[in-house]
């Protein structure tokens, strides 16, 4: 019989370069899964599909990761939250200035103002903002609103009148001809107001062709409270970057890094969950089949062959409709189709063990079937089940990803790599070139699969009892 002991197993395992590489990948994945709350935040996980949560985060929408600034010759503006300087020139007036040093080539995605205040019933506040550019030019009244809401969010890019005012500023540097063309073709809706705010004041500014205007920008906000009962509690100005974070953002302004990190937890739970349960079922099934033998063995084998020949995806899709979407139901469904995988291997191992002399003697003493299986056969197969689990994980992860990709929220409610890709497909990320939305989730799926395959291969060589060969 084949006994190595833990130390022996580890020493043997270390001889396989592929196995070590797989193990490193695996540790990396498990690390991501465990430290997800630290690397990201729990809100990212629980509120991934809540648009209000993401709106409050002031993230740019569909921008690439920050590190692309290290490559390429143009730098992108990064995310920044500016600190206010507040003065009160008169009792009802707040004068707030934000200073922003613009050094990049590609302007920020957006400028977002958040105002938190107390407004008495029926009263209002009036908010103005001017932008003073480094060249001394001033864009007047970019913001000009009256509000009775205590929480106000103004995005210069998506507000109703702010872009217009910015374009009016920009169009004065364009030729008469261009101005006419733009109005006739209604081009303003496709142009980016940020190009105007952060562009050199000469011809081409509205198209972002005049080049970046670097230097200090001053955002001057005046809040006028009608009565002294209205108070301004906090004010915040966010420069949404044209790049963001480690992995960029998707079209809904979600931090993809958070989704990827949390996705690793779900992937590992589903992958390992399905693999462990399936192998456990296969272990009992295969051993029983081999040990009992005869007619039962025949029947069990036919059932296994039958289940393994069922096409998984169509049935999974239809069953996913019947079950309520959740990770646990998904695991359950995947187990239904993946337990027959390892049965053949386990059965043939058990068959060979059964032929050993000591099993015959154990039977001769009169030990019950179950006792012989659990005391004498299972312990010998058990080490090898680690390899079988490792081999079963990639299939489960791959299928889960496929199902999530096709079904979206019908598969699991949580954020998974497959669902991130489902969103990417819905928002045509590929056709708009948002590679940072498409590549990482799939890469993670492949890495997870590869890690387990490599570890499984090495474990197979170490643990595979010689009797199988």
Partner 1 sequence: MGLAKYATYRVVNALVILFLVLLITAVIMNQYVEDTIKTEIESIIQQEVYRNPQYAQLSPEEKEQIAQVRRDFYYTKYGLNQPYIVRVLYRAYDALTFKFGRAVTLRSSTGSSLVVDIILEALPRTILLFTTATIITIIIGIILGMKSAVKVGSLFDRTISTFALFTYSLPMWWTGLLFILYFSYMLNIFPSGGIVSTPPPEGFAYYLDVLWHMALPTITIVFVNFGGWSYMTRSIVTNVMTEDFVITAKAKGVPERSILYGHVFRTASPPLVTSMVLSLIYSLSGAIITEAVFSWPGIGRLYWMAISSGDMPVVLGLVYITTFLYVFAVLILDFIYGLLDPRVKVGV
Q: Which residues in this chain contact partner 1 in the complex, by CB under 8 A?
A: 18, 305-306, 308-315, 317-319, 321-322, 394, 397-399, 401-402, 405-408, 410, 421, 424-425, 430-433, 435, 438-439, 441-442, 445-446, 448-450, 452-454, 457
In the complex, what is the shortest distance from the CB of residue 225 to partner 1, in angstroms, rounded to a whole number?
49
In the complex, what is the shortest distance from the CB of residue 313 to partner 1, in angstroms, rounded to a whole number?
4
* Cβ atoms of 213 and 133 closer than 8 Å: yes
In the complex, what is the shortest distance from the CB of residue 456 to partner 1, in angstroms, rounded to a whole number?
11
DSSP string, 283-309: HHHHHHHHHH-HHHHHHHHHHHHHHHT
* Residue number, 34 or 310, with CB nearest to partner 1: 310
Q: Is the dihedral of CA 409, 415, 419, 420 positive or negative?
A: positive
Q: Where are the alpha helices (DSSP H) in 357-377?
A: 357-365, 369-372
- Take residue 11 and report the two structure tokens written for it: 């020493």
* Residue number, 16 or 94, with CB nearest to partner 1: 16
In the complex, what is the shortest distance from the CB of residue 448 to partner 1, in angstroms, rounded to a whole number?
7
**Minimal CA–CA distance to 334: which of 416, 388, 403?**
403
* Residue number, 287 or 338, with CB nearest to partner 1: 338
**Minimal CA–CA distance to 96: which of 109, 83, 105, 111?**
83
In the complex, what is the shortest distance from the CB of residue 432 to partner 1, in angstroms, rounded to a whole number?
8
Q: Is the dihedral of CA 62, 64, 66, 72 positive or negative?
A: negative
**Minimal CA–CA distance to 282: which of 336, 330, 359?**
336
Q: Is the dihedral of CA 199, 203, 208, 210 positive or negative?
A: negative
In the complex, what is the shortest distance from the CB of residue 272 to partner 1, in angstroms, rounded to a whole number?
15
* Residue number, 215 or 433, with CB nearest to partner 1: 433
* Residue number, 212 or 286, with CB nearest to partner 1: 286
* Residue number, 322 or 365, with CB nearest to partner 1: 322
In the complex, what is the shortest distance from the CB of residue 449 to partner 1, in angstroms, rounded to a whole number?
2
* Residue number, 139 or 455, with CB nearest to partner 1: 455
In the complex, what is the shortest distance from the CB of residue 387 to partner 1, in angstroms, rounded to a whole number?
15
What CA–CA distance (Å, rounded) separates 263 from 246? 15
Instruction: Tell me phi and psi for residue 443, to 5 degrees.
Output: -60, -40
* Residue number, 283 or 316, with CB nearest to partner 1: 316
**Minimal CA–CA distance to 421: which of 413, 43, 410, 435?**
435
* Residue number, 273 or 456, with CB nearest to partner 1: 456
In the complex, what is the shortest distance from the CB of residue 435 to partner 1, in angstroms, rounded to a whole number?
6
Give residues with Cβ within 8 angstroms of 88, minimum separation 6.
Answer: 94, 95
- Take residue 347 and report the two structure tokens written for it: 């059965």
Spatial strand order of the sheet with 231-240 comes to 80-82, 231-240, 110-118, 151-155
* Cβ atoms of 64 and 436 closer than 8 Å: yes
The DSSP call for residue 76 is B
């Amino acid at each position: 019989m084949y006994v190595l002991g833990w130390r022996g197993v580890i020493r043997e395992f270390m001889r396989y370069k592929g196995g070590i590489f797989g193990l490193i990948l695996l540790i990396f994945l498990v690390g991501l899964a465990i430290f997800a709350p630290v690397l990201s935040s729990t809100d990212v996980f629980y509120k991934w599909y809540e648009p209000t949560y993401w709106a409050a985060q002031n993230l740019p929408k569909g921008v690439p990761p920050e590190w692309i600034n290290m490559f390429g010759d143009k730098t992108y503006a990064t995310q920044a939250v500016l600190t206010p300087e507040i003065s009160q020139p008169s009792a009802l007036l707040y004068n707030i200035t934000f200073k922003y040093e613009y050094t990049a080539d590609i302007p920020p995605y957006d400028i977002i103002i958040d105002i938190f205040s107390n407004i008495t019933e029926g009263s209002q506040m009036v908010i103005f903002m001017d932008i003073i550019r480094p060249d001394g030019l001033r864009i007047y009244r970019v913001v000009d609103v009256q509000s009775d809401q205590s929480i106000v969010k103004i995005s210069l890019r998506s507000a109703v009148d702010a872009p217009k005012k910015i374009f009016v500023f920009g169009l004065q540097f364009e030729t008469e001809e261009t101005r006419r063309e733009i109005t006739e073709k209604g081009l303003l809706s496709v142009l980016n107001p940020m190009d105007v705010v952060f562009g050199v004041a000469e011809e081409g500014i509205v198209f972002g062709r005049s080049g970046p205007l670097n230097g200090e920008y001053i955002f001057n906000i005046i809040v006028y409270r009608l009565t002294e009962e209205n108070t301004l509690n906090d004010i915040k100005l966010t420069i949404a970057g044209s790049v963001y974070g480690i992995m960029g953002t998707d079209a809904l302004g979600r931090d993809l890094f958070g989704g990827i990190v949390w996705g690793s937890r779900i992937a590992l739970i589903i992958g390992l969950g399905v693999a462990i349960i399936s192998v456990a079922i296969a272990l009992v099934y295969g051993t029983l089949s081999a040990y009992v033998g005869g007619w039962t063995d025949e029947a069990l084998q036919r059932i296994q062959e039958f289940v393994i020949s069922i096409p998984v995806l169509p049935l999974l899709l239809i069953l996913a409709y019947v079950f309520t979407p959740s990770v646990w139901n998904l695991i359950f469904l995947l187990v239904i189709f993946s337990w027959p995988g390892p049965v053949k291997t386990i059965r043939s191992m058990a068959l060979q063990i059964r032929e050993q002399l000591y099993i015959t003697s154990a039977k001769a003493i009169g030990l019950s079937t179950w006792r012989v299986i659990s005391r004498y056969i299972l312990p010998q197969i058990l080490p090898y089940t680690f390899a079988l689990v490792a081999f079963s994980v990639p299939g489960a992860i791959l299928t889960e990803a496929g199902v999530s990709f096709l079904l979206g929220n019908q598969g699991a409610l949580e954020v998974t790599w497959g669902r991130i890709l489902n969103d990417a497909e819905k928002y045509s990320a590929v056709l708009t070139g948002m590679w940072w939305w498409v590549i990482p989730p799939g890469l993670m799926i492949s890495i997870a699969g590869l890690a387990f395959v490599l570890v499984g291969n090495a474990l197979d060589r170490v643990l595979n009892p010689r009797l199988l060969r």
